[in-house]
Copies of this chain bind each other. A is one copy, B any other.
Amino acid sequence: MSHNTFGHLFRVTTWGESHGAALGCVVDGCPPGIRFTLADIQSELDRRRPGQSRFVTQRREPDQVKVLSGFVFDEDGETMITTGTPVSMLIENVDQRSKDYGEIARQYRPGHADYTYDVKYGLRDHRGGGRSSARETAARVAAGALARRIVPGLVVRGALVSMGVKDIDRANWDWDFVGHEDNPFFTPDPASVPVFTSYLDEIRKAGSSVGATVEIVAEGVPAGLGAPLYGKLDQDIAGNLMSINAVKGVEIGNGFEAARITGEENADQMRMGNDGRPMFLSNKAGGILGGISTGAPVVARFAVKPTSSILTPRLSIDKDGAEVEVRTKGRHDPCVGIRAVPVGEAMVACAIADHYLRHRGQTGRADA
């Protein structure tokens, strides 16, 4: 990966700041013949859209996506069919209250990228943090919506598994509940909703923020995707997830737990399934061995730090080196990890699509 493009054969380039005219992405390497509708993309974007509950920023953004290239319409005039040329998608920024940010134009918010941007570039777009805004992730989600359709049978789902000190009960895991309208947290555990609600209300009222952990599970990943060492599927997934702002840790399968157990405990034993195909009796590896997919579900988790934009005053400095106290007003997510769920799904889907095309070829027509 480099700069603002990721992927090797399925290449995504994102652009745009939170307070510019628009943001978007160019999806390059999308095979021809992929059928989708605008609603397929929009529905993914709607999942991460702000302003849907009091637990996410109240900034109002319709996030209406436009697809500008790379397709022809089918006879029905609605279904889009990719042609193999770059798919350019654009989302206009509507609700930009730049004045909210006026006062911090010259100050460095602790924990934020203000300082490092100034050091690197000598100037920065302070409005909403420019590229470091969570808005950039809309472009990733749009790209992911295409990526999901490239690998036949692929299903990529995500869930919030912890918020601050509160963990879900995995015994209650219910994928269907994750998208439920009464579930503002993407939690798979219905019992966790009241817990997260009261917990996050406190955080929010205190003008504070809190971190979270997200788990992504990809089912239907064919065995054989990836490469042994420097193009490992898990490495690219880790890189993709770590490229999301505020992510501080990534693990595959049992992850850090693997560091605490023995070879016996960690090994996924094998047997032949009733379908006459190899099967694993467990999935500690998270569906990847030696960088290559096993055919078992690919499992990844990532840690999202609390947003640095909080009301509590913190010690900092400004551009001139004057020592100041910073408090961020504006409209921010008390737990930015919530909206990271669909973003994580998108990044994992993109990594899998990329390796699928490396394996099956640029046109992906080996399946046709």
Contact = CB atoms under 8 A, between A and B. Distances in A.
Given A83-B123, A263-B308, A270-B108, A21 B69 contact: yes
A77 B9 CA distance: 37
Interface string A123-136: 11100001110001
A35 to B, nearest CB: 11
Contacts of A208: 262-264
Interface residues of A, number: 149
A310 to B, nearest CB: 4
Contacts of A115: 270, 278, 289, 294
Contacts of A225: 120
Interface of A: 1-6, 8-9, 11, 13-17, 20-24, 26, 28-29, 32-33, 66, 68-70, 72, 81, 83-88, 90, 108, 110-113, 115-117, 119-125, 130-132, 136, 162, 164-165, 203, 208-213, 223-232, 234-236, 238-239, 242-243, 245, 248-272, 276, 278, 281, 284-286, 288-295, 303-310, 312, 314-317, 321, 323, 337, 357-363, 365-366, 368
Given A210-B263, A235-B239, A269-B315, 17 more contacts: A1-B236, A3-B229, A4-B230, A17-B85, A32-B121, A83-B130, A110-B267, A116-B224, A208-B264, A210-B261, A211-B266, A213-B256, A249-B251, A251-B256, A266-B305, A359-B362, A366-B366
